[in-house]
Amino acid sequence: MPAPGHPMTSPLELAANVFTAAAILLAGRNNVHTWWTGIVGCTLFGLLFAESRLYADVMLQAFFVATGILGWWRWLRGKSGAPLPITHAGWRALGWMIPIGLAATAAYGALLHFHTDAYAPFIDSAVLVFSVIAQLLLMGRRIENWPVWLIVNTIAVPLYYSRGLVLTSALYTVFWVNALISWWWWRRLAQRQALAPAQA
């Protein structure tokens, strides 16, 4: 029997975690198969979060499905028909993304707080907004997607645990470690990529 306060992991949560774990690990390895596995995982997570009244996360999963299709194409054909290279976003882009992210978190959190029965609306909204930013950076194969994912995972782990989604919380802890490793790995890949023309 599951411990009190920690319901047994459902088949839906298990399947969502399996596909999403595969997608995250593949993204860290710069593998294009991250996109279709992510689309499946996010669809399943959308259903799971709807059951848990984490409505901002439901919207986030819908966004991930839509951008997963676009990201899949961009990684394969996004540079004049050739695979998109790994690059930096630049401080100017990050300089406007972060303030807009904070403002959007406050605005959407207030909307959920006053008009729905959402659980932890501002925290849930932070996960949504900064996941959107990280996803946009990932779609462009920008190295800076990984530190943003570190922020998202730091917020998401206690949020999901508080809703009894123990497996999901544990997986996001693994995602935190993966994001840290992937940040380092993508920087190395970018350096190799920059040296490749000179070595050709």
Domain of residue 147, residue span = 11-82+89-193
Contact 72, 36 (CB under 8 A): yes
Give domain status of residue 135, yes or no: yes
pTM of model > 0.85: no
Give domain status of residue 1, yes or no: no
Torsion region of 120: left, alpha or beta (phi above 0 gives left; psi -120 to 50 gives alpha): left
CA distances from 54 to 43, 70, 105, 147, 186 (A): 14, 25, 14, 24, 32
Burial of 103 (0-12, 13-18, 19+ CB in 10 A): exposed
When the pLDDT of each residue in the chain is averaged and rounded to a whole number, the result is 89
Please give the Cα distance from 158 to 135 (Å, whole number).
21
65-92 tens-digit pLDDT: 999 999 999 999 877 778 889 999 888 8
Contacts (Cβ under 8 Å, ≥6 apart) of 65: 39, 42, 43, 46
Give domain status of residue 96, yes or no: yes
Tokens 């998109």, located at residue: 84
Q: What is the DSSP string of 113-127?
A: HHHS--SSHHHHHHH
Domain count for the chain: 1
Q: What is the distance in angstroms between the CA of the first residue and the CA of the last residue of the chain? A: 61
Give domain status of residue 149, yes or no: yes
Give domain status of residue 2, yes or no: no
User: What amino acid is encoded at 27 in this protein?
Assistant: A
Statement: residue 153 has pLDDT above 90: yes
Q: Which two tokens stand for residue 92?
A: 């100017």
Q: Which has the higher per-residue pLDDT, 31 or 81?
A: 31
Give domain status of residue 3, yes or no: no
Q: Which of 27-36, 48-57, 184-193 has the lowest mean pLDDT?
A: 48-57
Please give the Cα distance from 33 to 152 (Å, whole number).
22
Please give the Cα distance from 108 to 132 (Å, whole number).
13
Tokens 């693994």, located at residue: 174
Give domain status of residue 5, yes or no: no
Give domain status of residue 6, yes or no: no
**What phi, psi does 150 have (nearest 5°)?**
-60, -45
